[in-house]
Amino acid sequence: MEQQYPTGAAYRVLFFNTLAFTVCFAGWVLNGVLVTFLMDNGIVDWTLVQAGWLLGIPVLTGSVMRLPLGLLTDKIGGRWVFGGLMLFCAVPLFLLSTTTNYSLFLVLSFLFGLLGASFAVGVGFTSVWFPQQWQGRALGIFGVGNIGSAITTMVAPSLLIKLTGNGAEPDGWKTLPLIYAGALVVMAILFMLFTSNKKPEGAGKTLKTALKPLKSLRVWRFGLYYFLVFGCFVTFSQWLVSYFLNVYNTGLVMAGMLASCFSLPAGLFRAVGGWLSDKFGARKVMYGVLGASLVISFLLLVPRMEIFSPGAGIMATQAGTVTAVNPNGITVGDKLYPLQARAAHPEDSSRKQLVFPTKESWQEAAVHPGDQVSKKQILATGVTRIYFQANIWVFVGLIVLMGMAWGIGTAAVFKHIPEYFPKEVGIVGGMVGMIGGLGGFVGPILFGYLLNLTGLWTSSWLFICLLSATCLVWMHAVITRMMKKGAPHLADKFELPHQ
């Protein structure tokens, strides 16, 4: 097949798509910083439950609306949908600066949460401009816009401090949503000026025909992959801050910095995932991503722990009277039984960073001077202590690798869509994106229940391990079934229908 190359217009659309998605993603997660600031500074009197809804509602809206906006993108083209979306969401962000009423704040958060649906719009609009062999790279570059969340996390707190004069002018916070609203308006104008509209083939299909691909099991399987690599990414971007605070007793600033070690690679490596998918095939990349997710989550599910277990004790070899008991031994009659004493300063009692589990064993006397003992009676019990530090820097290294793997995986998932659904990229991408986005809404709630049920922070990694295994087994089962049906020459690229 003749090699096709993207046009200059395609690169221009990709640039503005990525820039617009970055701005939208930054606005989508604004409540994560703004609500925390308002509560911490006593500007509002909201409960933690109310704050949780304010954080979750935009994520929920942006996830659910990916499907209809993806369908609309296929219908009328991404230029109008993307531009209109940014202008519409600028209104609730502007109004957010006028109120501290909880109900109104919640409604406005629901409305500007539509910014999260910009992903489905951008995927559909990007894919129609690039030939198939370039779509993995193009969609991977577009997905780098995920770093908008990191931009808000890093920049918004400093802006709030500056705008409020370090607390001297509390009402200064109102300028922040105005800045975000203004950025959306400017971005919408630039987008409309410098992009051209383009619709996929068959854009005039009826709604029933357009929704037909959603009957394919493949769409839902892609959605499950995306639930893992994107939904769980969104979840851990927030969850890891509390994780570091509770498990490693770090400060809040340090917890945020360490959590960003996970979120930043996930966004940046999306472009790498697009390039790898184009070069080696999306399926091979997904094998690597799911395998890496399984192995890394397995390594992370072992909790920080201290275990005491019975060890080797001492039995009397003959009957007699205990004449002496001291830290070094027990004397029965004229026979001395040496005791293994506990070290005064175990290796892990220092501030030394330990990577592997450490073990120490000792014996404790079970008799007293004057006791009559019989043959084979226990004179001293053995104690073994196993300590696993779950080294913080090893943990950080593993979550960096996980972030990189999931970032690559997000691009690989969306590389599949234009290959199998070239005329329905918007609707299918919207559905897959919706399922993934819902993972970001459901994840924190699920992890909270798991923590309450098990008492272990690593229970979240157990869930990831099981989910990764499920995805990997399902994908491999589909490929194996296809091979048995006599199409091995298609194994690297295609799948049979409805699998």
Q: Where are the domains of the chain?
A: 8-302+399-490, 305-389
Protein fold of 305-389:
OB fold (Dihydrolipoamide Acetyltransferase, E2P) (2.40.50)
8-302+399-490 has CATH 1.20.1250.20 classification: yes
pLDDT at 253: 64
CA-based R_g, the chain, Å: 29
pLDDT by residue (tens digit) across 151-200?
A: 887 788 778 888 988 878 888 999 999 999 999 999 999 999 999 998 77
**DSSP structure class, residue 228:** I
Mean pLDDT of the 425-436 span: 76
Q: Nearest Cα to 211, choosing from 424, 420, 417, 65?
A: 424
211: confidence class by pLDDT, cuts 50, 70, 90: low
497: confidence class by pLDDT, cuts 50, 70, 90: very low
The Cα 173–Cα 162 span in angstroms is 9
Residue count (the chain)? 499
Is 262:236 a contact under the CB 8 Å cutoff? yes
The Cα 79–Cα 16 span in angstroms is 10
The Cα 438–Cα 444 span in angstroms is 11
The Cα 406–Cα 273 span in angstroms is 9
pLDDT at 496: 41
Is 418:74 a contact under the CB 8 Å cutoff? no
pLDDT by residue (tens digit) across 274-292?
A: 788 878 888 889 999 999 9
| Token duo for residue 273 | 């995932």
**Least confident window among 69-73, 97-101, 249-253:** 249-253
This prediction's pTM: 0.70
pLDDT by residue (tens digit) across 243-282?
A: 887 888 876 567 777 877 887 888 778 778 878 887 888 8
**DSSP structure class, residue 172:** G
Q: Do the domains 305-389 and 8-302+399-490 match in fold?
A: no
User: Looking at beta carbons, which pairs linking 199-203 to residues 24 or more positions away fall under 8 Å?
Assistant: 199/74, 199/75, 199/76, 199/77, 199/128, 200/74, 200/124, 200/127, 200/128, 200/422, 200/423, 200/424, 200/425, 200/426, 201/422, 201/423, 202/423, 203/74, 203/75, 203/76, 203/77
Q: Is the pLDDT of residue 317 over 90?
A: no
Q: Is the pLDDT of residue 424 over 80?
A: no
Residue 372: φ, ψ to 5° = -90, 125
- Angle at CA of residue 389, ends 386 and 395, nearest 5°: 140
pLDDT at 498: 42
1: confidence class by pLDDT, cuts 50, 70, 90: very low
pLDDT at 490: 47
Q: Ranked by mean pLDDT, which of 106-115, 128-137, 278-287 comes out on top?
A: 106-115
pLDDT by residue (tens digit) across 403-423?
A: 999 989 988 887 777 777 776
